[in-house]
Amino acid sequence: AQTVTQSQPEMSVQEAETVTLSCTYDTSESNYYLFWYKQPPSRQMILVIRQEAYKQQNATENRFSVNFQKAAKSFSLKISDSQLGDTAMYFCAFMKHERRGASGSRLTFGEGTQLTVNP
């Protein structure tokens, strides 16, 4: 079974600064996906960024980038130029790569990191 660990329950950052959220995972799979999801207060969960394990290059989406260290099973999220709207709970999640003929797409989530961006 896969497990995802987020060791920082809460973090805060000043507006316009950079913050890094940590995530580690445990799996025996060689091919998989990793995700960061954002859940703002009283709003729905949205995908921030996705990384495929077989890709060496770290994914980036505008101000969001990841540092994927496959050997260390580490997947951190860096938010640059933090904005007030980035205040949310951030979840790291894992999904096994689907095999031919199988279609399970279970996301396994960590416990989350509450990020607060201060003005």
Partner 1 sequence: EAGVAQSPRYKIIEKRQSVAFWCNPISGHATLYWYQQILGQGPKLLIQFQNNGVVDDSQLPKDRFSAERLKGVDSTLKIQPAKLEDSAVYLCASSRGPGGYNEQFFGPGTRLTVL
Dump strand ranges (E) for 59-118: 60-61, 64-69, 74-79, 88-96, 108-109, 113-118
Q: Shortest gap between Cβ of 5 and partner 1 (angstroms)?
A: 11
Nearer to partner 1, 5 or 18 (CB): 5
Q: Which residues bind partner 1 (CB under 8 A)?
A: 4, 32-33, 35, 43-47, 50, 52, 91, 93, 95, 97-98, 103-112
Nearer to partner 1, 14 or 21 (CB): 21
The span from the CA of 5 to the CA of 40, in Å, is 20
Which tokens go with 71? 């050997």
Nearer to partner 1, 17 or 52 (CB): 52
